[in-house]
């Protein structure tokens, strides 16, 4: 079964004026391998050690978005490239 897994994910709506509106954040979330499902926030929990969490209250989303932004900046992800093959 092919799935997308997100350690941290944040869903935004971007307005016509360029403003960003945070709609949902999640951690340890899985979704079907279809980007429309990801954008719609259709996440599933597949158990294991790490439990999936989904925030949709403003304060909790702000905390998760802050963690995500800090991780992206400190990890300098824009410089990374990885090829993964699974059988």
Verdict on whether the full-model pTM lies above 0.85: no
Is residue 42 a contact partner of residue 32, using CB atoms and an 8 Å limit?
yes
CB atoms within 10 A of CB 61: 19
More confident residue, 78 or 44: 44
DSSP classification of residue 78: G
Judged against a pLDDT cut of 70, whether residue 39 lies above it is answered with yes
- State the average pLDDT for the chain: 80
* pLDDT for position 9: 81
Question: How much of the chain, in percent, has pLDDT values that exceed 70?
Answer: 95
Query: How far, in Å, CA of 84 to CA of 2, rounded?
Result: 13
Judged against a pLDDT cut of 80, whether residue 78 lies above it is answered with no
């Amino acid at each position: 079964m092919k799935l997308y897994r997100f350690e941290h994910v944040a869903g935004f709506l971007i307005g016509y004026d360029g403003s960003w509106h945070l709609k949902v954040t999640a951690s340890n979330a899985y979704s079907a391998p279809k980007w429309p499902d990801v954008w719609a926030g259709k996440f599933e929990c597949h158990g294991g050690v790490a439990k999936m969490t989904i925030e949709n209250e403003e304060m909790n989303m702000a905390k998760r978005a802050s963690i995500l932004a800090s991780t992206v900046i400190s990890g300098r992800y824009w410089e990374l490239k990885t090829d993964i093959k699974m059988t």
